[in-house]
Structure 1
Amino acid sequence: MKNGLEDVVAAETQLSHVDGEAGQLIIRGVSLDHLAGHASYEDVVALLFEGLLGPMPDRVELAKRLGEKRAEVFAHVGAIDDALLELPPVDIMRALIARLPDGEDLDTALRLLAAPAVFLPAALRMKSGEAPVAPTPALSHAADILAMLCAKVPSRQEVAALDAYLVTISDHGLNASTFASRVVASTKAGLTSSVLAAIGALKGPLHGGAPGPVLDMLDAIGTPENAEAWLSDALDHGERLMGFGHRVYRVRDPRADALKGALKRLIAAHPANRDRIRLAEEVEQSALAVLKVRKPDRPLDVNVEFYTALLLDALRFPRDAFTGVFAIGRTVGWIAHAREQALEGRLIRPRSLYVGPLPQQAA
């Protein structure tokens, strides 16, 4: 038995390949290097859904139908009451998704893509005492998310940055939330059930809950000159450096570079956060140097969380919403894996090894 199923192959997939040794991510035959910054979220939806949900509409029709679904699910925002507003944003989002019907067709899938994109901005505005903003179906998915969040049409650079993020985190092999989605799909429960299970796995701090603390770390460090001393002190006290290390990658996480590139392009157009990225780059270099000395036997490099935090912060998402934004992007991968499992797999039912006491034999 391997604790945590380390290196255990539990599924065959055509959706994504994570090469931890080479630091490469391939999504449906296309390298992340090619997708990030070049493909839109709608492009990746078409790429991942192909062959899994019946005939796919062309890109224009797909974007139109996704926009219509955003308008449709906005009606559920009216169910947000004072009790729900006391919950973290990702839990509000999850509660509203639970109102949606289960199914296994393209209509259900597009509704599930639309739901978190609408529910999260609405929940964030209502938690701040502001009225939710209705979707604009004619906008792209990324543009509409930002418009619903900030109540204004976003800039072209902001849309490109969010698109790059959503594309970059759309799928990533058999991670915990994707595995949860496939387990539920193997029971034939339906796509809504699979997505809800995946969100439950995602919100755990060992999976999708870490980007926010990256900003806490940068705030605590304050200036580039403080980086090395602060990081060394954190390691002396047994603390984890947020945004470094990954369960699979033994070299640099390729998603980190994709998001760093998107962030730099955004800041070139909106220079208000220039000092922030300068601090982040100094912290990155100091952390890598300190980790190389302090933990020479462990391959610890920057991961996707580090530049995720900076990018989403620059787009004005509050840090307690980062897990929910991750869910917006990853839902397409969860749905694709769920359909692949339902179409080609069996009921997932591994064995456990009993290590408890045995009944005492009668004398």
Structure 2
Amino acid sequence: MELYIDAEQAAAELGVSLTTLYTYISRRGIRSQRVPGTKKRQYWKADIDNIRKRKGEKPSPPARDTLQESKLTLVTPEGPYYRGQSAIELSETHTLEDTAALLWDIRRDAVFGPNAAVAPPELRDLYKVFKDVSIADKAIGILPFVERANPRAYDLTHEGLCRTGADLLRWYAAILAGRDVTSSEPLHIQTAALCGGEDEVADLIRRVLVISADHGFGAGTYAVRAVASTGVTPYRSVLAGFAIAPGRRNVLGHRAAIGRLLDELAASSDPQSVIARRMQEGEDLPGFRFPWPYVNGDPRANRSLDDLGRIRGDHPLFVKVMAAFSYAEAELGRHPGHGMVNDLIARVIGLPSREYLYPLGRCAGWVAHSIEQYEAGDVDPPLANYRGQLPKVSELP
């Protein structure tokens, strides 16, 4: 690809005269350099293409199409749709295993069988090493050993990838519970056992896991797909999603800030004043961010709040937090996001962390994206618009 073009080419690309081109050099920031041994100059082609874009014309040569195609999830103002089916409606009847099979385009009984994945011999020692770290970091440390202990993980056929996905979900549930073996029990039942195991709590967890399974192309999904395109197993690609979890710009990375806000609300006799004080002092409201195209709150959060209210509507924390949510909506037009509601649910039902809900559900979507991207081939990265120091003509190949 040409890096520089001469004045005549540049003028032709822009559809202007040479005189107009020379005015563009200073007014529009077109970079150029002198051709050694002559009085002529060459012009940086990326700058020419950028001006063409601003004029509504297509650059030449044609830019690579950077839109990522997927058949998995459509995000609408009413919530996500998994392969054309409303995630919120699916949560009424489906389990996470059902939802994973739908996203992975395979029969549930073909991959979620009774066979348990082999535990790595180092597992007990690994639990000790990672005793005081987050669940995400624990998964990052342990899952590569699980992969190595299970040679079938390297079967990259469609069915093989799906079987590995099922093993991965079960291993994440086992890591949550600190168990040495996986279980074929439904994932929501396994999770509910960590906080008492009542049927109504298990059903709430089932619903949350289903609507958390996928949400299109967030940062985690891009990371997972980029790694999957290299031909690794789902164990490795899903680690990319866990790796970005603590990021300050990532929804999961706000967990600590959300936790502090919930602590304040729990300790206050006037939860509305907590919201008012934060706004008066210019502080942020963590957990009140939700993605496009939601304009009146995240439908997933709204549904989960309704579900939680049905079974724990009289819980003191739920009562206080709902008062704060109502105040934030009425006075500030702010609505809680899915992450905030996940954290609230975990506290009200007695789970130690939101990491027990959202990431477990999201693993199903990350595996789906891993499979789709591996089968599609390499990720096609966007063309970069270089803005640094330009090379001299004599240094160009």
TM range, normalised to the smaller chain?
Answer: 0.7 to 0.9
Partner secondary structure for residue 99 of structure 1: helix
Instruction: Give the direction of change, closer, same or farther, for the CA distance of 1:98–1:315 in structure 2 (3 Å limit).
Output: farther
**Aligned equivalents of 2:355, 2:123: Cα separation in 1:** 19
Given that 1:253 and 1:302 are in contact with CA atoms closer than 8 Å, whether structure 2 keeps it comes out as yes
Q: Equivalent residue for 1:296?
A: none
Given that 2:75 and 2:81 are in contact with CA atoms closer than 8 Å, whether structure 1 keeps it comes out as yes
Q: Equivalent residue for 2:173?
A: 117
Range with greater deviation from structure 2 (23-32 or 161-170): 23-32
Given that 2:173 and 2:360 are in contact with CA atoms closer than 8 Å, whether structure 1 keeps it comes out as yes
**Aligned equivalents of 1:111, 1:163: Cα separation in 2:** 18
Instruction: Give the direction of change, closer, same or farther, for the CA distance of 1:75–1:333 in structure 2 (3 Å limit).
Output: farther
**Aligned equivalents of 2:280, 2:131: Cα separation in 1:** 39
Question: 1:120 corresponds to which letter in structure 2?
Answer: L
Select which of 249, 272, 280 maps to 1:236.
Answer: 280
Is 1:200 paired with 2:256? Answer: no
Given that 1:14 and 1:28 are in contact with CA atoms closer than 8 Å, whether structure 2 keeps it comes out as yes
Q: Which has the larger radius of gyration?
A: 2
Q: Equivalent residue for 2:18?
A: none
Q: Equivalent residue for 2:324?
A: 283
Question: 2:139 corresponds to which letter in structure 1?
Answer: M
Q: Equivalent residue for 2:164?
A: 108
In the TM superposition, residue 229 of structure 1 has moved relative to its aligned partner by 2.8
Select which of 254, 258, 261 maps to 1:217.
Answer: 261
Question: 1:164 corresponds to which letter in structure 2?
Answer: R
In the TM superposition, residue 133 of structure 1 has moved relative to its aligned partner by 7.4
Given that 1:181 and 1:338 are in contact with CA atoms closer than 8 Å, whether structure 2 keeps it comes out as yes
In the TM superposition, residue 114 of structure 1 has moved relative to its aligned partner by 1.3
Instruction: Give the direction of change, closer, same or farther, for the CA distance of 1:358–1:186 in structure 2 (3 Å limit).
Output: same
TM-score (structure 2 length as normaliser): 0.72
In the TM superposition, residue 88 of structure 1 has moved relative to its aligned partner by 2.4
Is 1:255 paired with 2:294? Answer: no
**Aligned equivalents of 2:226, 2:143: Cα separation in 1:** 19
Q: Equivalent residue for 2:70?
A: 13
How does 1:1-363 map onto structure 2 within 5 Å?
10-19=67-76, 22-51=77-106, 56-58=107-109, 62-65=111-114, 68-69=115-116, 72-73=118-119, 77-101=123-147, 102-103=153-154, 104=156, 105=160, 106-122=162-178, 132=179, 136-137=183-184, 139-147=185-193, 149=194, 154-205=197-248, 206-211=250-255, 213-222=257-266, 226-248=270-292, 249-267=294-312, 274-292=315-333, 300-319=334-353, 322-323=354-355, 325-359=357-391
User: Once the two structures are superposed, what CA deviation does each residue of 1:236-280 show, in whole Å capped at 9, x if it has no partner?
Assistant: 333221221223233310110221122123326xx5xx2211111
**Aligned equivalents of 2:389, 2:361: Cα separation in 1:** 45
Partner secondary structure for residue 17 of structure 1: strand
**Aligned equivalents of 2:388, 2:191: Cα separation in 1:** 50
Instruction: Give the direction of change, closer, same or farther, for the CA distance of 1:324–1:222 in structure 2 (3 Å limit).
Output: closer
Instruction: Give the direction of change, closer, same or farther, for the CA distance of 1:40–1:75 in structure 2 (3 Å limit).
Output: farther
TM-score (structure 1 length as normaliser): 0.78
Percent identical pairs in the alignment equals 24
**Aligned equivalents of 1:226, 1:114: Cα separation in 2:** 42
Question: 1:252 corresponds to which letter in structure 2?
Answer: G
In the TM superposition, residue 81 of structure 1 has moved relative to its aligned partner by 4.9
**Aligned equivalents of 2:97, 2:300: Cα separation in 1:** 19
In the TM superposition, residue 134 of structure 1 has moved relative to its aligned partner by 5.5
In the TM superposition, residue 208 of structure 1 has moved relative to its aligned partner by 1.4
Partner secondary structure for residue 25 of structure 1: strand
In the TM superposition, residue 91 of structure 1 has moved relative to its aligned partner by 0.8
Given that 2:66 and 2:382 are in contact with CA atoms closer than 8 Å, whether structure 1 keeps it comes out as no
Question: 1:235 corresponds to which letter in structure 2?
Answer: M
Instruction: Give the direction of change, closer, same or farther, for the CA distance of 1:324–1:356 in structure 2 (3 Å limit).
Output: farther
Range with greater deviation from structure 2 (166-175 or 338-347): 338-347
**Aligned equivalents of 1:279, 1:99: Cα separation in 2:** 43
**Aligned equivalents of 1:97, 1:350: Cα separation in 2:** 31
**Aligned equivalents of 1:228, 1:81: Cα separation in 2:** 41
Question: 2:223 corresponds to which letter in structure 1?
Answer: A
User: Once the two structures are superposed, what CA deviation does each residue of 1:106-164 show, in whole Å capped at 9, x if it has no partner?
Assistant: 32221111121111221xxxxxxxxx575553x322112333x35x6x12112111111
**Aligned equivalents of 1:88, 1:168: Cα separation in 2:** 23
**Aligned equivalents of 2:142, 2:387: Cα separation in 1:** 40
Question: 1:10 corresponds to which letter in structure 2?
Answer: L
**Aligned equivalents of 1:10, 1:323: Cα separation in 2:** 31
In the TM superposition, residue 62 of structure 1 has moved relative to its aligned partner by 4.8
Question: 1:210 corresponds to which letter in structure 2?
Answer: H
Consecutive unaligned residues in structure 1, runs of 5 or more: 2-7, 123-131, 293-299
Given that 2:170 and 2:183 are in contact with CA atoms closer than 8 Å, whether structure 1 keeps it comes out as no
**Aligned equivalents of 1:82, 1:219: Cα separation in 2:** 29
Partner secondary structure for residue 18 of structure 1: strand
Structure ranking higher on relative contact order (CA contacts 8 Å, 6+ apart): 1
Given that 1:23 and 1:250 are in contact with CA atoms closer than 8 Å, whether structure 2 keeps it comes out as no
Instruction: Give the direction of change, closer, same or farther, for the CA distance of 1:202–1:223 in structure 2 (3 Å limit).
Output: closer
Given that 2:96 and 2:209 are in contact with CA atoms closer than 8 Å, whether structure 1 keeps it comes out as yes
**Aligned equivalents of 2:100, 2:85: Cα separation in 1:** 13
